[in-house]
A and B are shown apart, each in its own frame.
Chain A
Amino acid sequence: MKGSRSLIWAALGLALGVPIALAATSEQLAWRGPVYILAGFAGIIALGLVLVQPLLIGGYLPGPSAYRARCAHYWIGGGLALAVVIHVAGLWFTSPPDMIDALTFSSPTPFSPFGVIAMWAIFAVALLAGLRRRLGLRLRTWRIVHIPLAIVIVMCGVVHCLLIEGTMETISKAALCALVVAATVKVMVDLWRKRALRGESA
């Protein structure tokens, strides 16, 4: 039992650590300024956090109670929004015209609109999560808002990352993206099943 616990955590560590470590050895870093490098890694870390989120909320990580996992999901969501802000701000600083093109959906790069859509979805979820209590959103209403946005974040985020030719090594990037999609599908399926069960018993 204890063995499988640490195995899951080790697997998560590898899933996040390997792509970051390989990106850190990219030869492209030699020709980038510190701000551009920071912006790039903020993007990679954001992708990593998008993997952690469904794992936490689905209760797939052994250890924390459901309550603590939900707290962690909440704060990591804030961290994700912050990572995206650093990513965008750093890229803006590096090349303002390219960033403005991206934000106005007039960029020649096919991955930009996906990134911008994912960004707005992340900001929307973060804002609503912060205001949830004040707005008095019930769990059901919250899920109706959060789940579609979460799907948008995952799909657009993954496409954005896959299309970019940057510091990330191709295979580790694809693997991380596959895990993000798999974890999201798993949590959605489980949620749907639970609801179906509740529906039957009621």
Chain B
Amino acid sequence: MTLVVLNRRNLLIAGGTVLASGVLAAGTSGLLLPARAEGLAPTESMTGGANNYRKGAPIVERIGKGGFVMSGTVRRAGDGAPLAGQRIQIWAHTVEGQEHEPQSHGATLTDKDGAFRLEMPQIIPIFGQPHGHLAYDSGEFKTVFLRPIMRSAKDTSLEAHFVLQPA
């Protein structure tokens, strides 16, 4: 069910440039229209994104010994302006610890371009999927939990992007 919706959404986004106006409006997408009217749509939390979350993980230079790169951007909903100095919390099941263990958690701040990058130990599959967890939970904007999946368990990097809306 979710898959179908996601596919259609992806398709619509991909075809969006071609489908200039009338066809789409007459069609299905209630999903896309509000986003058009107000600009960049906020990122929704992902299912399971908050699993094994620990409040207030410390800001660190890197998590553990590093070797894997988690990166992404934080932008404002609507105009898409980059948000600097935003705290992003990151955790995963890695070669150095399980998802719920404190040493698997850390946080970092976005730079002036709204980008963040944190080194962490290699992520390995847990519960059948190699995935990471990220949270924006500082309160100024609405809290968002993400759970991006790696294409391959051998990947040494993963990206996640936030578009935040005021709380």
Of B3, B47, B51, B129, the residue contacting A95 (CB under 8 A) is B51
Of A28, A106, A110, the residue contacting B124 (CB under 8 A) is A28
A22 → chain B closest CB, angstroms: 16
Could you tell me if B48 and A33 are in contact, using CB atoms closer than 8 angstroms? no
Of A97, A107, A165, the residue contacting B52 (CB under 8 A) is A97
Could you tell me if B128 and A101 are in contact, using CB atoms closer than 8 angstroms? no
CB under 8 Å from chain B, chain A span 56-108: 91, 94-95, 97-98, 101, 106-108
Residues of chain A within 8 A (CB-CB) of B48 are 97-98, 101, 106-109
The answer to whether the Cβ of A166 comes within 8 Å of any Cβ in the partner chain is yes
Could you tell me if B99 and A95 are in contact, using CB atoms closer than 8 angstroms? yes
Residues of chain B within 8 A (CB-CB) of A106 are 47-48
Given A33-B98, A108-B147; A95-B127 close (CB under 8 Å):
yes
The answer to whether the Cβ of B8 comes within 8 Å of any Cβ in the partner chain is no
Given A33-B98, A95-B99; A165-B47 close (CB under 8 Å):
no
Which residue of the partner chain B has the closest CB to A99?
B127
Given A31-B93, A33-B98, A97-B52; A166-B46 close (CB under 8 Å):
no
Number of A-B contacts (CB under 8 A): 55
Could you tell me if B95 and A108 are in contact, using CB atoms closer than 8 angstroms? no
CB under 8 Å from chain B, chain A span 27-54: 28, 30-31, 33
0/1 string, A131-169, CB within 8 A of B gives 1: 000000000000000000000000000000001111000
Residues of chain B within 8 A (CB-CB) of A164 are 128
Measured in the bound complex, the distance between the Cα atoms of B99 and A91 in whole Å is 13
B89 → chain A closest CB, angstroms: 16
Given A95-B100, A106-B47; A28-B125 close (CB under 8 Å):
yes
Of B52, B124, B127, the residue contacting A31 (CB under 8 A) is B124
Which residue of the partner chain B has the closest CB to A107?
B48
Could you tell me if A111 and B126 are in contact, using CB atoms closer than 8 angstroms? no
Given A33-B98, A101-B47, A165-B130; A95-B52 close (CB under 8 Å):
yes
Residues of chain A within 8 A (CB-CB) of B93 are 31
Measured in the bound complex, the distance between the Cα atoms of B127 and A110 in whole Å is 11
0/1 string, B102-127, CB within 8 A of A gives 1: 00000000000000000000001111
Measured in the bound complex, the distance between the Cα atoms of B2 and A110 in whole Å is 9
Measured in the bound complex, the distance between the Cα atoms of B3 and A163 in whole Å is 14
Nearest first, the 8 A-B pairs at minimum CB distance are A164-B128, A97-B51, A108-B47, A108-B48, A165-B125, A98-B127, A101-B48, A31-B124
Identify the B interface with A (CB < 8 A). Answer: 3, 46-52, 93-95, 98-100, 124-130, 147, 153
Identify the A interface with B (CB < 8 A). Answer: 28, 30-31, 33, 91, 94-95, 97-98, 101, 106-112, 163-166
